[in-house]
A and B are shown apart, each in its own frame.
Chain A
């Protein structure tokens, strides 16, 4: 259940969504993706979301859920082709196979094209779903912990992909747990707890705020290196420091 939610997010902006487990981040994404009903108003390009057709939404919002498992042995290329669904004819024809291979290549998954998605690892699945979202080519992306199944190298490549999308004027809404990743990527973060957004704004300001420390029960320390880069280091709050403890 989400309450008193208000805010906006612009083309070419990457918005980070943070918060403890169960705070409502994924729920917010599912509502925006059209998978859950809502009361109130959500507008995209000045149109109310709930009144639009599935095809209209698909060309504007793509969604990558956290759970990625597949039960049907379609090939990766077939799954990526499904991303173009809103542009295909009724029988699934008229799609571009070149686009499919280009998208798979972009995420380094060209070699997976003919493989059944039921036999892929978590990281491979994640890349196939990203390729699918690339093929869908929506104006805004909703991503639920996209880095969770990926190794470090893949995470960095993902950051490059997201920046590239931002350059193209796409809007990204990303649920993240890694604060340093959020600082490197997002121009704005929202921090949620119990279904409300309790803090928002520039990541560095938000992470240093008392609300943030209270929600996560952590104290932030910042370390600087000689080049002027900084790293956030969260520490557990002790009983004495904390205003209301467990």
Chain B
């Protein structure tokens, strides 16, 4: 596990360096280093590094880490390798929030706020629907998630028709992209990220028992309902903040935890840190690729284009072992 974590850390460092230097305005390593030492300033190099590239790179790492840890949590909690951070209605809720903002003609800066509110609202609705006297039954949770997603999705479609000229903005958001990142947005993302990952790490070992079934966990002494609620809340916070800041970036939350599980096994105490680092690596790498294209691509498209073959290759290799 240590070597995978170390490798991930090195990959992060390499990709950040690469991302700071390359782009339409090329910078040498020493230039970047000098600018970083100077702190924020007025020169063109300085603006490129401090205002454009650095927040975007950090945003990519943060969003990748959010989605990947949330995915790991959902997969463990729902005992399904197919679970992904969006199945709880977060994505549909966030889309609806943004679509509403677009249709109502709100300020661009308010989009993340609306997206976050939508995501949180959707998950509260799903949890409410799945709630029974004793607590939340996970099958009901999945089912309610799918239903609410469908319902909200059709509302988004309706709004898209009404959106008219603003449609392209909405579509661009829904495809997922990191081009709008800035320090303010990053700050917005940070609090839910810290709270969410903190809660997940706090529940990592109880989650191990829970992933073997409630019939095992509860009699062994796990406060099942409390752990479930905290994990659902944490994973939702992480997803909502990712969606609110960067739209719907698919695939990261599904595939990265899965790969990490192939590498280190199902123990959440190892899986969570690994998923956190490699989610960041993956999205950072994909974002770098989007900037290579002649016309900037939405990162969500690239994650799937790169991720699916890579994942299939890994799966194939694992089978042969």
Contact = CB atoms under 8 A, between A and B. Distances in A.
B42 interface: no
Interface string A38-58: 000000000000000111011
A228 to B, nearest CB: 41
Contacts of B305: none
B219 interface: yes
Contacts of A85: 205-206, 209, 220-222
B202 interface: yes
A35 B267 contact: no
B215 interface: yes
Interface stretch (A69-77, A167-175, A212-220): A69-77
A136 to B, nearest CB: 6
Contact of A92 (B76, B208, B213): B208
A72 B212 contact: yes
A83 B220 contact: yes
A63 interface: yes
B232 interface: no
B267 A78 contact: yes
Contact of A35 (B79, B133, B215, B221): B215
Contact of A54 (B76, B133, B221): B221
A127 to B, nearest CB: 15
Given A35-B215, A70-B212, A57 B221 contact: yes
A159 interface: no
Contact of A86 (B133, B204, B220): B220
Nearest to A33: B219
A132 B217 CA distance: 12
B265 interface: yes
Contacts of B130: none
Given A73-B266, A74-B265, A82 B212 contact: yes
A73 B134 contact: no
B221 A79 contact: no
Contacts of A33: 215, 218-219
A88 interface: yes
Given A70-B212, A74-B208, A74-B212, A54 B134 contact: no
B18 interface: no
Interface size range on A against B: 20 to 34
Contacts, number: 78
Contacts of A72: 76, 79, 211-212, 266
Contacts of B76: 72
Contacts of B202: 90
A75 B79 CA distance: 17
A92 B268 CA distance: 11
B166 interface: no
B266 A74 contact: yes
B29 interface: no
B49 to A, nearest CB: 39
Nearest to A86: B221
B79, B202, B213, B214 — most chain A CB neighbours (10 Å): B213
B224 interface: yes
Nearest to B227: A54
A62 interface: yes
B134 A37 contact: yes
B223 A73 contact: no
Contacts of B212: 70-72, 74, 79, 82
A37 B134 CA distance: 8
B269 interface: yes
A176 interface: no
A43 to B, nearest CB: 18
A82 B269 CA distance: 14
5 contacts: A35-B218, A54-B218, A55-B221, A71-B212, A88-B205
Interface of A: 33-35, 37, 53-55, 57-59, 61-63, 65, 67, 70-74, 78-79, 82-83, 85-86, 88, 90-92, 132, 136, 142
- Return the 8 tightest CB-CB contacts between A and B, nearest first: A58-B221, A86-B221, A92-B205, A63-B219, A72-B266, A85-B220, A54-B223, A55-B221
